[in-house]
Amino acid sequence: MSDVTVIKIAIVGVGKIAQDQHVPSIKGNEAFELAATVSSRDGLPGIENHAQLTDLLEKRPDIPAVALCMPPQMRYEAASLAIEAGRHVLLEKPPGATIAEVQDLVERARAKNVSLFATWHSRFAAGVPAARAWLAERMIRHVRITWKEDVRRWHPGQAWIWEPGGLGVFDPGINALSILTEILPEPVHLVQSTLEVPDGRQAPIAASLRFRGPAGLTVEADFDWRQTGPQTWDIEIGTDTGSLSLSKGGAELTIGGRREMTEADVEYAGIYRRFAELIDAREIDVDLAPLIHVADAFMLGRKITVEPFEE
């Protein structure tokens, strides 16, 4: 850091993802100090808590950065308040409930000369940079994404994920799309979408997507929130000179049947390294490509009603 030694930061929304990932990543990064939280319920032991974001912004002008970890439907208003108050903003994924509101946040951040970071944590998985470099020199023929997990395990009691803007199975599925858009040399576009929506819910529990790209490239993606037992987060890619696979959410890279690397739990550490860089440079890093693919999936989606989902 060129002009600061420690950046005080506040976490807004102290739910499961904040406690599991953001708190340890902030504490493990010497560029940051976790100075406060914002939560209408209990915050974190030993950390100052404010019931409302407006209270934090008014009472702690010495905290220049906030990490917004509340559900996406609530993120735009909070980000707008923080940016208007001159704070740097980190957005947990997905960055917002709509594309338009995130685009507006970019303009607001640019006008206030503050950093805005729309995070895609899976892009910081250990195998992703090497996969991108290897694919850059090859003709990609086909991509197969299988992203299946147990919603009861990862989102217990979180009703917001089933509401409009909550994304349903695309909450994890967008992680795969963030890797896809990071490692492919050329963009692809959606051509087919099937959404399985539980009776009485507003968002899908499973989805099947098909994409096309240049030179005949095809991409198939299957997302499902009903998988019990071992969880599956795999991307398999066939090229003109061999195959590549990313498994365990991008933590494990295999090329031509040979495992190249395996390293877990580095994603959020990477996010906060990047956020420190952005704050130092007062830059904006917002890539909407994964969210655009999800929006297209809803626009083209053929809806199939399936059995009700109950906790």
Cα(154)–Cα(22) distance, rounded to whole angstroms? Answer: 16
SS3 for 187?
Answer: coil
Is 148 catalytic? The answer is no
Q: Do the Cβ atoms of 254 and 244 come closer than 8 Å?
A: yes
Entry field: residues in the chain = 311
Cα(77)–Cα(79) distance, rounded to whole angstroms? Answer: 6
Please state the separation of Cα 80 from the chain's center in Å: 19
Backbone phi and psi for residue 134, each to the nearest 5 degrees, phi listed first? -65, -40
Cα(128)–Cα(80) distance, rounded to whole angstroms? Answer: 32
Catalytic residue among 59, 93, 248, 303: 93
232-239/140-148 β-pairing: antiparallel
301 to each of 191, 202, 249, 289, how far by Cα in Å? 10, 13, 25, 18
Residue type, 311: E
**Where in the sequence numbering do the catalytic residues fall?**
93
